[in-house]
Amino acid sequence: MIAGAPPDRFGAMDDAPLRESGALFATETLPDSLISLEELAATVRRFERAYVRYSEGPEHDRDGSVDTESGLTLPGLSANPLHAEPWWSRPFEDWLARQVCQYRELQEKNPDRFAWVLCGTEVGRGPDCEPLLREVIPIARLDDALLDEAADRYETRFRAGHGPED
């Protein structure tokens, strides 16, 4: 079984070829769309370790991620974690809203990009300390309604965009 993949969803999958090849994707199919933070929370809980990525989708990401400043190809797909850290004491949906909003400007700069949820094996960290994943399994696309709900929650429950010097 692929770690984190529920058997009722993906069936019994032999992950030996993935471990041997270190494939970037286990599958490129993006089966579902999530429309609320409540649905996203349930999905992340089901997979235990899940991530969000803004891109033109799994089919477009076949070659992996590139560090745009150095031009180097990264050893995995860059993503933002959706599973909360142990120190997080606020509602889980607050964490999700914050994480989903962190890179939404990528979609605003390029409307072909969209947010999607994935799981996979962490193989390192990117230049912004983001997890890099291989053996990726796309889980679901995030609907605009969910992104709007996340933005509203982030803006009302956080000091969005403020840093230590603000």
pLDDT (tens digit per residue) in 115-127: 999 999 999 999 9
Sequence-separated (6 or more) residues with CB below 8 Å from residue 28: 58, 59, 62, 138
- Does the structure show a pLDDT above 80 at 59? yes
Domain range spanning residue 57?
Answer: 27-157
List Cα–Cα distances, 26 to 11, 16, 101, 118, 132, in angstroms: 13, 11, 26, 11, 15
Is the residue at 142 inside a domain?
yes
Is the residue at 81 inside a domain?
yes
Is the residue at 147 inside a domain?
yes
- Does the structure show a pLDDT above 70 at 134? yes
Number of domains in the chain: 1
The pLDDT value given to residue 62: 85
Confidence of residue 132 (pLDDT cuts 50, 70, 90): very high
- Does the structure show a pLDDT above 80 at 81? yes
Say if strands 51-55 and 80-81 run parallel, antiparallel, or are unpaired: antiparallel
% residues pLDDT > 70 (the chain): 80
Taking residues 43-48, report their average pLDDT. 93
Does 55 or 165 have the greater pLDDT score?
55
Is the residue at 107 inside a domain?
yes
How many Å from the N-terminal Cα to the C-terminal Cα in the chain? 47
Range of weakest confidence among 30-34, 56-60, 123-127: 30-34
The model's pTM: 0.80
- Does the structure show a pLDDT above 60 at 13? no
Is the residue at 17 inside a domain?
no
The pLDDT value given to residue 8: 36
Is the residue at 129 inside a domain?
yes
The pLDDT value given to residue 162: 62
On whether the CB atoms of residues 96 and 42 are closer than 8 A, the answer is no
Q: If you average pLDDT over every residue of the chain, what do you get?
A: 83
